[in-house]
Structure 1
Protein backbone atom coordinates (compact mmCIF):
# COMPACT_ATOMS: atom_id res chain seq x y z
CA UNK A 1 0.00 0.00 0.00
CA UNK A 2 1.55 3.35 -1.10
CA UNK A 3 2.53 5.78 1.54
CA UNK A 4 1.28 9.35 1.73
CA UNK A 5 4.60 10.57 0.34
CA UNK A 6 4.31 8.22 -2.65
CA UNK A 7 0.72 9.34 -3.31
CA UNK A 8 1.84 13.01 -3.22
CA UNK A 9 4.69 12.25 -5.66
CA UNK A 10 2.32 10.43 -8.02
CA UNK A 11 -0.18 13.31 -7.87
CA UNK A 12 2.63 15.79 -8.53
CA UNK A 13 3.81 13.89 -11.62
CA UNK A 14 0.23 13.67 -12.92
CA UNK A 15 -0.25 17.41 -12.46
CA UNK A 16 3.05 18.10 -14.22
CA UNK A 17 1.98 15.91 -17.18
CA UNK A 18 -1.38 17.70 -17.36
CA UNK A 19 0.37 21.05 -17.33
CA UNK A 20 2.77 19.87 -20.04
CA UNK A 21 -0.12 18.61 -22.20
CA UNK A 22 -2.00 21.84 -21.69
CA UNK A 23 1.07 23.89 -22.65
CA UNK A 24 1.61 21.73 -25.73
CA UNK A 25 -2.03 22.19 -26.79
CA UNK A 26 -1.73 25.95 -26.30
CA UNK A 27 1.49 26.06 -28.31
CA UNK A 28 -0.11 24.14 -31.18
CA UNK A 29 -3.22 26.33 -31.01
CA UNK A 30 -1.07 29.46 -31.37
CA UNK A 31 0.88 27.85 -34.18
CA UNK A 32 -2.28 26.95 -36.09
CA UNK A 33 -3.63 30.43 -35.54
CA UNK A 34 -0.48 31.97 -37.03
CA UNK A 35 -0.53 29.56 -39.97
CA UNK A 36 -4.22 30.22 -40.55
CA UNK A 37 -3.65 33.96 -40.48
CA UNK A 38 -0.78 33.65 -42.93
CA UNK A 39 -2.85 31.51 -45.29
CA UNK A 40 -5.69 34.00 -45.02
CA UNK A 41 -3.34 36.84 -45.84
CA UNK A 42 -2.00 34.95 -48.85
CA UNK A 43 -5.53 34.28 -50.05
CA UNK A 44 -6.47 37.92 -49.68
CA UNK A 45 -3.34 39.02 -51.55
CA UNK A 46 -4.01 36.44 -54.25
CA UNK A 47 -7.57 37.68 -54.59
CA UNK A 48 -6.40 41.26 -54.93
CA UNK A 49 -3.77 40.30 -57.50
CA UNK A 50 -6.32 38.26 -59.42
CA UNK A 51 -8.68 41.22 -59.43
CA UNK A 52 -5.96 43.55 -60.68
CA UNK A 53 -4.97 41.09 -63.40
CA UNK A 54 -8.58 40.68 -64.41
CA UNK A 55 -9.15 44.43 -64.58
CA UNK A 56 -6.00 44.94 -66.64
CA UNK A 57 -6.82 42.00 -68.88
CA UNK A 58 -10.37 43.19 -69.45
CA UNK A 59 -9.17 46.71 -70.08
CA UNK A 60 -6.79 45.38 -72.72
CA UNK A 61 -5.87 47.97 -75.31
CA UNK A 62 -7.78 50.63 -73.39
CA UNK A 63 -5.62 50.46 -70.28
CA UNK A 64 -2.45 50.48 -72.29
CA UNK A 65 -3.61 53.40 -74.43
CA UNK A 66 -4.24 55.37 -71.28
CA UNK A 67 -0.91 54.67 -69.65
CA UNK A 68 1.77 54.41 -72.35
CA UNK A 69 1.81 57.82 -73.89
CA UNK A 70 4.94 57.15 -75.93
CA UNK A 71 3.50 54.16 -77.75
CA UNK A 72 -0.22 53.81 -77.34
CA UNK A 73 -2.68 56.08 -79.06
CA UNK A 74 -6.04 57.60 -78.16
CA UNK A 75 -6.09 57.38 -74.39
CA UNK A 76 -9.27 59.40 -73.69
CA UNK A 77 -11.20 56.72 -75.57
CA UNK A 78 -10.97 54.80 -72.31
CA UNK A 79 -13.12 57.12 -70.19
CA UNK A 80 -16.89 57.04 -70.80
CA UNK A 81 -18.00 60.66 -71.22
CA UNK A 82 -21.16 62.06 -69.64
CA UNK A 83 -24.45 61.86 -71.50
CA UNK A 84 -24.52 65.56 -72.41
CA UNK A 85 -22.02 67.01 -74.88
CA UNK A 86 -21.76 70.25 -76.83
CA UNK A 87 -21.34 70.56 -80.58
CA UNK A 88 -17.93 71.09 -82.12
CA UNK A 89 -17.04 74.79 -81.94
CA UNK A 90 -17.42 77.04 -84.96
CA UNK A 91 -14.15 77.32 -86.84
CA UNK A 92 -12.26 80.57 -86.64
CA UNK A 93 -8.85 80.54 -88.32
CA UNK A 94 -6.18 80.99 -85.65
CA UNK A 95 -3.30 83.36 -86.31
CA UNK A 96 -0.61 81.73 -88.40
CA UNK A 97 -2.71 78.76 -89.52
CA UNK A 98 -0.43 76.50 -91.58
CA UNK A 99 2.42 78.96 -91.25
CA UNK A 100 4.89 76.76 -89.37
CA UNK A 101 4.15 73.05 -89.48
CA UNK A 102 6.70 71.05 -87.52
CA UNK A 103 7.14 67.27 -87.28
CA UNK A 104 9.78 66.50 -84.64
CA UNK A 105 10.94 62.94 -84.02
CA UNK A 106 8.82 60.91 -81.61
CA UNK A 107 10.17 58.74 -78.82
CA UNK A 108 9.46 55.63 -80.89
CA UNK A 109 10.99 54.72 -84.22
CA UNK A 110 8.87 54.57 -87.35
CA UNK A 111 6.83 51.38 -87.69
CA UNK A 112 7.28 51.55 -91.46
CA UNK A 113 9.87 53.44 -93.51
CA UNK A 114 8.88 56.95 -94.55
CA UNK A 115 10.20 60.46 -94.95
CA UNK A 116 8.70 63.17 -92.72
CA UNK A 117 6.57 65.75 -94.54
CA UNK A 118 7.89 69.15 -95.46
CA UNK A 119 8.02 71.61 -92.60
CA UNK A 120 7.35 75.32 -92.34
CA UNK A 121 4.55 77.02 -94.24
CA UNK A 122 2.06 74.80 -96.06
CA UNK A 123 -0.81 75.97 -98.29
CA UNK A 124 -4.35 76.19 -96.93
CA UNK A 125 -5.74 76.46 -100.47
CA UNK A 126 -7.48 74.46 -101.78
CA UNK A 127 -9.56 74.27 -98.64
CA UNK A 128 -10.61 70.69 -99.39
CA UNK A 129 -8.71 67.80 -100.94
CA UNK A 130 -10.38 64.62 -102.16
CA UNK A 131 -8.92 61.24 -101.28
CA UNK A 132 -10.01 57.62 -101.51
CA UNK A 133 -9.32 54.87 -99.04
CA UNK A 134 -9.54 51.39 -100.52
CA UNK A 135 -10.16 48.58 -98.03
CA UNK A 136 -10.91 44.88 -98.36
CA UNK A 137 -14.42 45.64 -97.08
CA UNK A 138 -15.19 48.43 -99.55
CA UNK A 139 -14.13 51.90 -100.57
CA UNK A 140 -14.23 54.91 -98.25
CA UNK A 141 -14.25 58.32 -99.90
CA UNK A 142 -12.61 61.14 -97.92
CA UNK A 143 -12.70 64.91 -98.17
CA UNK A 144 -9.64 66.29 -96.37
CA UNK A 145 -10.17 69.66 -94.63
CA UNK A 146 -7.00 71.48 -95.62
CA UNK A 147 -8.51 74.85 -94.73
CA UNK A 148 -8.95 73.96 -91.05
CA UNK A 149 -6.13 71.50 -90.33
CA UNK A 150 -3.42 72.04 -92.97
CA UNK A 151 -0.49 70.60 -90.97
CA UNK A 152 -2.47 67.42 -90.37
CA UNK A 153 -3.54 67.12 -94.01
CA UNK A 154 0.07 67.77 -95.06
CA UNK A 155 1.22 64.79 -92.97
CA UNK A 156 -1.64 62.50 -93.99
CA UNK A 157 -1.13 63.25 -97.69
CA UNK A 158 2.62 62.72 -97.40
CA UNK A 159 2.20 59.31 -95.76
CA UNK A 160 -0.48 58.28 -98.27
CA UNK A 161 1.70 59.23 -101.23
CA UNK A 162 4.59 57.19 -99.79
CA UNK A 163 2.38 54.11 -99.40
CA UNK A 164 2.69 54.16 -95.61
CA UNK A 165 -0.95 53.08 -95.18
CA UNK A 166 -0.82 50.35 -97.82
CA UNK A 167 -1.75 46.91 -96.51
CA UNK A 168 -2.20 48.03 -92.91
CA UNK A 169 -5.01 46.87 -90.60
CA UNK A 170 -7.76 48.86 -88.99
CA UNK A 171 -6.97 47.53 -85.54
CA UNK A 172 -9.72 48.94 -83.35
CA UNK A 173 -13.51 49.20 -83.44
CA UNK A 174 -15.55 50.82 -80.68
CA UNK A 175 -19.26 50.16 -80.42
CA UNK A 176 -20.31 51.73 -77.10
CA UNK A 177 -23.34 54.00 -76.90
CA UNK A 178 -21.23 57.15 -76.72
CA UNK A 179 -18.38 56.17 -79.04
CA UNK A 180 -18.61 54.58 -82.47
CA UNK A 181 -15.36 54.72 -84.44
CA UNK A 182 -13.04 52.58 -86.53
CA UNK A 183 -9.34 53.27 -85.93
CA UNK A 184 -6.67 52.69 -88.58
CA UNK A 185 -3.21 53.90 -89.60
CA UNK A 186 -0.96 51.69 -87.46
CA UNK A 187 1.27 49.33 -89.48
CA UNK A 188 1.83 47.15 -86.40
CA UNK A 189 -1.87 46.54 -85.87
CA UNK A 190 -1.27 46.77 -82.12
CA UNK A 191 -2.21 50.39 -81.48
CA UNK A 192 1.43 51.25 -80.76
CA UNK A 193 2.80 52.16 -84.19
CA UNK A 194 3.46 55.44 -85.92
CA UNK A 195 5.60 57.26 -88.48
CA UNK A 196 8.49 58.13 -86.16
CA UNK A 197 7.47 61.76 -85.84
CA UNK A 198 4.68 63.69 -84.14
CA UNK A 199 2.93 67.02 -84.47
CA UNK A 200 0.57 69.41 -82.76
CA UNK A 201 -3.22 69.41 -82.66
CA UNK A 202 -5.26 71.68 -84.90
CA UNK A 203 -9.04 72.14 -85.12
CA UNK A 204 -10.96 71.95 -82.77
CA UNK A 205 -8.22 72.10 -80.11
CA UNK A 206 -6.92 75.40 -81.52
CA UNK A 207 -10.29 77.04 -80.87
CA UNK A 208 -9.58 77.01 -77.11
CA UNK A 209 -6.98 78.55 -74.85
CA UNK A 210 -4.58 75.91 -73.48
CA UNK A 211 -5.93 76.30 -69.93
CA UNK A 212 -9.60 76.34 -70.93
CA UNK A 213 -11.50 73.72 -68.85
CA UNK A 214 -13.72 73.09 -71.87
CA UNK A 215 -10.82 71.18 -73.40
CA UNK A 216 -11.68 68.39 -70.98
CA UNK A 217 -15.44 68.51 -71.55
CA UNK A 218 -16.93 66.24 -74.22
CA UNK A 219 -18.15 67.48 -77.56
CA UNK A 220 -19.94 65.59 -80.29
CA UNK A 221 -17.81 64.35 -83.14
CA UNK A 222 -20.60 63.79 -85.66
CA UNK A 223 -21.08 60.77 -87.88
CA UNK A 224 -18.88 61.09 -90.94
CA UNK A 225 -15.95 62.78 -89.17
CA UNK A 226 -12.33 61.90 -89.96
CA UNK A 227 -10.01 62.68 -87.04
CA UNK A 228 -6.54 61.96 -85.67
CA UNK A 229 -5.97 59.59 -82.76
CA UNK A 230 -3.32 60.60 -80.24
CA UNK A 231 -1.85 59.88 -76.82
CA UNK A 232 -2.06 63.45 -75.57
CA UNK A 233 -1.38 66.96 -76.86
CA UNK A 234 1.20 67.13 -79.62
CA UNK A 235 1.46 63.37 -80.17
CA UNK A 236 -0.34 63.00 -83.49
CA UNK A 237 1.32 60.54 -85.85
CA UNK A 238 -0.28 58.23 -88.41
CA UNK A 239 -3.24 56.74 -86.54
CA UNK A 240 -6.66 58.13 -87.36
CA UNK A 241 -10.27 57.21 -86.73
CA UNK A 242 -13.46 57.27 -88.76
CA UNK A 243 -16.67 58.14 -86.94
CA UNK A 244 -19.67 56.06 -88.04
CA UNK A 245 -21.97 57.21 -85.22
CA UNK A 246 -22.15 60.50 -83.32
CA UNK A 247 -19.44 60.17 -80.65
CA UNK A 248 -18.49 62.07 -77.53
CA UNK A 249 -14.86 62.99 -76.91
CA UNK A 250 -12.96 65.95 -75.51
CA UNK A 251 -12.05 68.43 -78.30
CA UNK A 252 -8.46 67.18 -78.28
CA UNK A 253 -8.59 65.14 -81.48
CA UNK A 254 -7.85 66.98 -84.71
CA UNK A 255 -10.69 66.88 -87.22
CA UNK A 256 -9.20 66.87 -90.69
CA UNK A 257 -11.89 65.61 -93.00
CA UNK A 258 -15.23 64.03 -93.76
CA UNK A 259 -16.37 60.61 -94.98
CA UNK A 260 -18.68 60.28 -98.00
CA UNK A 261 -21.87 58.22 -98.12
CA UNK A 262 -20.17 55.25 -99.77
CA UNK A 263 -17.58 55.24 -97.01
CA UNK A 264 -20.25 55.42 -94.31
CA UNK A 265 -22.00 52.41 -95.84
CA UNK A 266 -18.71 50.50 -95.65
CA UNK A 267 -18.21 51.58 -92.03
CA UNK A 268 -21.77 50.57 -91.13
CA UNK A 269 -21.12 47.08 -92.49
CA UNK A 270 -17.94 46.75 -90.43
CA UNK A 271 -19.60 48.13 -87.29
CA UNK A 272 -22.65 45.87 -87.64
CA UNK A 273 -20.40 42.79 -87.46
CA UNK A 274 -19.17 44.01 -84.07
CA UNK A 275 -15.95 43.45 -82.17
CA UNK A 276 -13.98 40.24 -82.49
CA UNK A 277 -14.75 38.18 -79.40
CA UNK A 278 -17.57 40.47 -78.32
CA UNK A 279 -17.48 43.52 -76.12
CA UNK A 280 -17.55 47.22 -77.01
CA UNK A 281 -13.89 47.71 -77.96
CA UNK A 282 -11.30 45.68 -79.82
CA UNK A 283 -10.36 44.44 -83.28
CA UNK A 284 -13.30 44.41 -85.69
CA UNK A 285 -14.85 40.99 -86.18
CA UNK A 286 -14.94 41.78 -89.87
CA UNK A 287 -11.17 42.07 -90.32
CA UNK A 288 -10.46 45.28 -92.20
CA UNK A 289 -7.28 46.10 -94.11
CA UNK A 290 -6.42 49.39 -95.79
CA UNK A 291 -5.17 48.43 -99.23
CA UNK A 292 -4.13 51.97 -100.10
CA UNK A 293 -5.02 55.63 -99.70
CA UNK A 294 -4.55 57.98 -102.60
CA UNK A 295 -5.29 61.61 -103.32
CA UNK A 296 -7.77 62.18 -106.16
Structure 2
Protein backbone atom coordinates (compact mmCIF):
# COMPACT_ATOMS: atom_id res chain seq x y z
CA UNK A 1 0.00 0.00 0.00
CA UNK A 2 1.40 3.40 -0.95
CA UNK A 3 2.02 6.07 1.69
CA UNK A 4 -0.82 8.30 0.45
CA UNK A 5 -3.26 5.41 0.69
CA UNK A 6 -2.08 4.60 4.22
CA UNK A 7 -2.45 8.22 5.33
CA UNK A 8 -5.95 8.44 3.84
CA UNK A 9 -7.12 5.31 5.67
CA UNK A 10 -5.61 6.51 8.95
CA UNK A 11 -7.27 9.95 8.54
CA UNK A 12 -10.70 8.40 7.88
CA UNK A 13 -10.19 5.99 10.78
CA UNK A 14 -9.32 8.86 13.11
CA UNK A 15 -12.55 10.65 12.10
CA UNK A 16 -14.55 7.54 13.03
CA UNK A 17 -12.73 7.37 16.36
CA UNK A 18 -13.43 11.04 17.10
CA UNK A 19 -17.11 10.41 16.39
CA UNK A 20 -17.06 7.35 18.65
CA UNK A 21 -15.37 9.40 21.39
CA UNK A 22 -18.13 12.02 21.18
CA UNK A 23 -20.74 9.23 21.36
CA UNK A 24 -18.96 7.78 24.38
CA UNK A 25 -18.74 11.14 26.20
CA UNK A 26 -22.42 11.85 25.57
CA UNK A 27 -23.34 8.38 26.85
CA UNK A 28 -24.80 7.60 23.44
CA UNK A 29 -26.06 4.37 21.90
CA UNK A 30 -23.51 1.57 22.51
CA UNK A 31 -24.23 -0.09 19.17
CA UNK A 32 -23.32 3.12 17.32
CA UNK A 33 -20.31 3.55 19.62
CA UNK A 34 -19.17 0.00 18.85
CA UNK A 35 -19.65 0.36 15.09
CA UNK A 36 -17.79 3.66 14.90
CA UNK A 37 -14.92 2.36 17.00
CA UNK A 38 -14.83 -0.87 14.99
CA UNK A 39 -14.55 0.92 11.65
CA UNK A 40 -12.12 3.48 13.06
CA UNK A 41 -9.77 0.85 14.46
CA UNK A 42 -10.05 -1.28 11.30
CA UNK A 43 -9.12 1.61 9.01
CA UNK A 44 -6.23 2.72 11.19
CA UNK A 45 -4.92 -0.86 11.30
CA UNK A 46 -5.16 -1.12 7.51
CA UNK A 47 -3.28 2.15 7.18
CA UNK A 48 -0.59 0.95 9.56
CA UNK A 49 -0.28 -2.47 7.92
CA UNK A 50 3.23 -1.66 6.70
CA UNK A 51 4.60 -2.20 10.21
CA UNK A 52 4.95 -5.90 9.46
CA UNK A 53 7.49 -5.13 6.73
CA UNK A 54 8.98 -1.92 8.13
CA UNK A 55 10.07 -2.24 11.74
CA UNK A 56 11.37 1.34 11.64
CA UNK A 57 7.71 2.35 11.85
CA UNK A 58 8.07 1.63 15.57
CA UNK A 59 11.78 1.85 16.34
CA UNK A 60 12.29 5.27 14.73
CA UNK A 61 8.91 6.92 15.09
CA UNK A 62 7.88 7.20 18.74
CA UNK A 63 4.80 9.26 17.91
CA UNK A 64 3.39 6.39 15.80
CA UNK A 65 3.88 3.93 18.64
CA UNK A 66 2.32 6.34 21.18
CA UNK A 67 -0.66 6.79 18.83
CA UNK A 68 -1.12 3.03 18.53
CA UNK A 69 -0.83 2.59 22.30
CA UNK A 70 -3.43 5.33 22.88
CA UNK A 71 -5.74 3.68 20.36
CA UNK A 72 -5.37 0.35 22.17
CA UNK A 73 -6.16 1.86 25.58
CA UNK A 74 -9.18 3.71 24.20
CA UNK A 75 -10.52 0.56 22.55
CA UNK A 76 -10.20 -1.40 25.78
CA UNK A 77 -12.05 1.40 27.58
CA UNK A 78 -14.94 1.14 25.09
CA UNK A 79 -15.02 -2.65 25.49
CA UNK A 80 -15.07 -2.45 29.30
CA UNK A 81 -17.76 0.25 29.24
CA UNK A 82 -20.13 -1.84 27.09
CA UNK A 83 -19.39 -5.08 28.95
CA UNK A 84 -19.95 -3.56 32.43
CA UNK A 85 -22.69 -1.02 31.84
CA UNK A 86 -24.50 -2.12 28.67
CA UNK A 87 -24.27 -5.94 28.70
CA UNK A 88 -27.29 -6.26 26.41
CA UNK A 89 -25.05 -5.17 23.52
CA UNK A 90 -22.61 -8.03 24.11
CA UNK A 91 -25.15 -10.56 22.87
CA UNK A 92 -24.79 -9.76 19.15
CA UNK A 93 -21.82 -10.77 16.95
CA UNK A 94 -20.53 -7.18 16.61
CA UNK A 95 -19.15 -7.13 20.12
CA UNK A 96 -17.16 -10.32 19.62
CA UNK A 97 -15.87 -9.23 16.21
CA UNK A 98 -14.65 -6.05 17.87
CA UNK A 99 -13.11 -8.06 20.72
CA UNK A 100 -11.09 -10.15 18.25
CA UNK A 101 -9.95 -6.98 16.49
CA UNK A 102 -8.97 -5.50 19.83
CA UNK A 103 -6.88 -8.56 20.72
CA UNK A 104 -5.17 -8.20 17.34
CA UNK A 105 -4.52 -4.52 18.01
CA UNK A 106 -3.07 -5.30 21.44
CA UNK A 107 -0.77 -7.91 19.89
CA UNK A 108 0.52 -5.32 17.41
CA UNK A 109 1.13 -2.84 20.23
CA UNK A 110 3.04 -5.51 22.20
CA UNK A 111 5.04 -6.39 19.07
CA UNK A 112 5.87 -2.73 18.56
CA UNK A 113 6.99 -2.28 22.16
CA UNK A 114 9.21 -5.38 21.95
CA UNK A 115 10.89 -4.15 18.77
CA UNK A 116 11.27 -0.65 20.17
CA UNK A 117 12.96 -1.95 23.35
CA UNK A 118 15.21 -4.34 21.37
CA UNK A 119 16.36 -1.51 19.12
CA UNK A 120 16.92 0.93 22.00
CA UNK A 121 18.98 -1.62 23.92
CA UNK A 122 21.10 -2.54 20.88
CA UNK A 123 21.78 1.01 19.70
CA UNK A 124 22.25 2.71 23.09
CA UNK A 125 26.06 2.25 23.40
CA UNK A 126 26.67 3.66 19.92
CA UNK A 127 24.26 6.58 20.43
CA UNK A 128 26.20 7.50 23.59
CA UNK A 129 29.50 7.33 21.72
CA UNK A 130 28.17 9.48 18.86
CA UNK A 131 26.95 12.15 21.28
CA UNK A 132 30.49 12.49 22.57
CA UNK A 133 32.20 11.99 19.20
CA UNK A 134 29.87 12.36 16.16
CA UNK A 135 32.71 11.37 13.79
CA UNK A 136 33.33 7.94 15.35
CA UNK A 137 33.15 5.71 12.25
CA UNK A 138 33.04 2.47 14.26
CA UNK A 139 29.95 3.64 16.14
CA UNK A 140 28.33 4.86 12.90
CA UNK A 141 29.00 1.55 11.15
CA UNK A 142 27.68 -0.49 14.07
CA UNK A 143 24.57 1.67 14.30
CA UNK A 144 24.01 1.16 10.57
CA UNK A 145 24.37 -2.62 10.96
CA UNK A 146 21.79 -2.60 13.78
CA UNK A 147 19.38 -0.49 11.71
CA UNK A 148 19.78 -2.91 8.81
CA UNK A 149 19.05 -5.80 11.17
CA UNK A 150 15.73 -4.11 12.06
CA UNK A 151 15.01 -3.59 8.33
CA UNK A 152 15.35 0.19 8.64
CA UNK A 153 17.31 0.19 5.40
CA UNK A 154 17.19 3.89 4.36
CA UNK A 155 18.38 4.95 7.82
CA UNK A 156 21.16 2.34 7.71
CA UNK A 157 22.33 3.73 4.35
CA UNK A 158 22.47 7.20 5.92
CA UNK A 159 24.84 5.87 8.62
CA UNK A 160 27.16 4.27 6.06
CA UNK A 161 27.08 7.39 3.87
CA UNK A 162 28.04 9.48 6.90
CA UNK A 163 30.94 7.11 7.61
CA UNK A 164 32.19 7.43 4.03
CA UNK A 165 32.07 11.23 4.24
CA UNK A 166 34.38 11.03 7.25
CA UNK A 167 36.49 8.12 5.97
CA UNK A 168 36.14 7.67 2.16
CA UNK A 169 38.23 4.49 2.24
CA UNK A 170 36.27 2.64 4.90
CA UNK A 171 35.85 -0.82 3.36
CA UNK A 172 33.37 -2.03 5.98
CA UNK A 173 31.00 0.88 5.27
CA UNK A 174 31.19 0.22 1.50
CA UNK A 175 30.56 -3.49 1.99
CA UNK A 176 27.70 -2.98 4.45
CA UNK A 177 26.06 -0.34 2.24
CA UNK A 178 26.28 -2.75 -0.68
CA UNK A 179 24.55 -5.41 1.43
CA UNK A 180 21.77 -3.03 2.47
CA UNK A 181 21.23 -1.84 -1.11
CA UNK A 182 20.97 -5.49 -2.18
CA UNK A 183 18.31 -6.00 0.53
CA UNK A 184 16.49 -3.02 -0.98
CA UNK A 185 16.81 -4.72 -4.41
CA UNK A 186 18.94 -1.87 -5.75
CA UNK A 187 21.39 -4.41 -7.14
CA UNK A 188 23.31 -2.30 -9.66
CA UNK A 189 24.25 0.31 -7.06
CA UNK A 190 25.10 -2.50 -4.63
CA UNK A 191 27.57 -3.87 -7.20
CA UNK A 192 29.15 -0.42 -7.48
CA UNK A 193 29.75 -0.33 -3.72
CA UNK A 194 31.19 -3.85 -3.77
CA UNK A 195 33.55 -2.76 -6.56
CA UNK A 196 34.71 0.23 -4.51
CA UNK A 197 35.38 -2.05 -1.55
CA UNK A 198 37.24 -4.60 -3.71
CA UNK A 199 39.59 -1.91 -5.02
CA UNK A 200 40.77 -1.50 -1.43
CA UNK A 201 40.44 -5.14 -0.34
CA UNK A 202 40.60 -7.38 -3.42
CA UNK A 203 41.00 -10.59 -1.40
CA UNK A 204 37.79 -10.35 0.60
CA UNK A 205 35.78 -13.53 0.01
CA UNK A 206 32.55 -12.15 1.51
CA UNK A 207 32.57 -9.12 -0.78
CA UNK A 208 33.29 -11.26 -3.85
CA UNK A 209 30.52 -13.69 -2.92
CA UNK A 210 27.94 -10.96 -2.28
CA UNK A 211 28.91 -9.16 -5.47
CA UNK A 212 28.32 -12.45 -7.29
CA UNK A 213 24.90 -12.74 -5.65
CA UNK A 214 23.95 -9.20 -6.74
CA UNK A 215 25.13 -9.92 -10.31
CA UNK A 216 23.03 -13.11 -10.27
CA UNK A 217 19.97 -11.03 -9.34
CA UNK A 218 20.83 -8.75 -12.30
CA UNK A 219 20.98 -11.91 -14.48
CA UNK A 220 24.64 -11.22 -15.27
CA UNK A 221 25.53 -14.85 -14.72
CA UNK A 222 28.98 -15.04 -16.41
CA UNK A 223 30.19 -12.08 -14.33
CA UNK A 224 28.72 -13.70 -11.21
CA UNK A 225 30.60 -16.94 -11.93
CA UNK A 226 33.82 -14.93 -12.30
CA UNK A 227 33.24 -13.49 -8.80
CA UNK A 228 32.63 -16.92 -7.33
CA UNK A 229 35.74 -18.30 -9.04
CA UNK A 230 37.83 -15.46 -7.61
CA UNK A 231 36.44 -16.22 -4.13
CA UNK A 232 37.17 -19.95 -4.51
CA UNK A 233 40.77 -19.19 -5.47
CA UNK A 234 41.09 -17.62 -2.03
CA UNK A 235 39.22 -20.41 -0.22
CA UNK A 236 38.49 -23.56 -2.19
CA UNK A 237 36.33 -24.98 0.60
CA UNK A 238 33.76 -22.18 1.02
CA UNK A 239 30.40 -23.99 0.90
CA UNK A 240 28.30 -20.87 0.32
CA UNK A 241 30.35 -19.86 -2.70
CA UNK A 242 30.17 -23.35 -4.24
CA UNK A 243 26.39 -23.36 -3.77
CA UNK A 244 25.96 -19.88 -5.27
CA UNK A 245 28.23 -20.75 -8.20
CA UNK A 246 26.08 -23.84 -8.85
CA UNK A 247 22.96 -21.70 -8.97
CA UNK A 248 24.54 -19.26 -11.45
CA UNK A 249 25.75 -22.12 -13.66
CA UNK A 250 22.24 -23.61 -13.63
CA UNK A 251 20.91 -20.32 -14.98
CA UNK A 252 23.53 -20.53 -17.75
CA UNK A 253 22.22 -24.05 -18.54
CA UNK A 254 25.65 -25.47 -17.70
CA UNK A 255 24.06 -28.35 -15.84
CA UNK A 256 27.11 -30.63 -15.67
CA UNK A 257 29.26 -27.89 -14.10
CA UNK A 258 26.42 -26.92 -11.76
CA UNK A 259 26.12 -30.54 -10.60
CA UNK A 260 29.83 -30.60 -9.82
CA UNK A 261 29.34 -27.55 -7.60
CA UNK A 262 26.45 -29.20 -5.74
CA UNK A 263 28.51 -32.40 -5.30
CA UNK A 264 31.25 -30.26 -3.78
CA UNK A 265 28.68 -28.77 -1.39
CA UNK A 266 27.66 -32.27 -0.26
CA UNK A 267 31.26 -33.35 0.06
CA UNK A 268 32.24 -30.38 2.21
CA UNK A 269 29.17 -30.14 4.41
CA UNK A 270 26.48 -32.86 4.29
CA UNK A 271 24.33 -30.89 6.74
CA UNK A 272 24.52 -27.63 4.80
CA UNK A 273 21.32 -25.57 4.71
CA UNK A 274 20.79 -26.21 1.00
CA UNK A 275 21.93 -29.85 1.00
CA UNK A 276 18.38 -31.16 0.42
CA UNK A 277 18.07 -29.01 -2.68
CA UNK A 278 21.46 -30.19 -3.92
CA UNK A 279 20.52 -33.83 -3.33
CA UNK A 280 17.24 -33.44 -5.23
CA UNK A 281 19.03 -31.85 -8.19
CA UNK A 282 21.57 -34.67 -8.23
CA UNK A 283 18.83 -37.31 -8.09
CA UNK A 284 16.93 -35.72 -10.98
CA UNK A 285 20.07 -35.56 -13.11
CA UNK A 286 21.38 -39.08 -12.46
TM-score range normalised by the length of the shorter chain? under 0.3
Larger strand percent: 1
TM-score normalised by L of structure 1: 0.20
Bigger relative contact order (CA 8 A; separation at least 6): 1
Whichever structure has more helix as a proportion of its residues is 2
Radius of gyration: which is bigger? Answer: 1
Normalising by the residue count of structure 2, what TM-score does the alignment of the two structures yield?
0.21
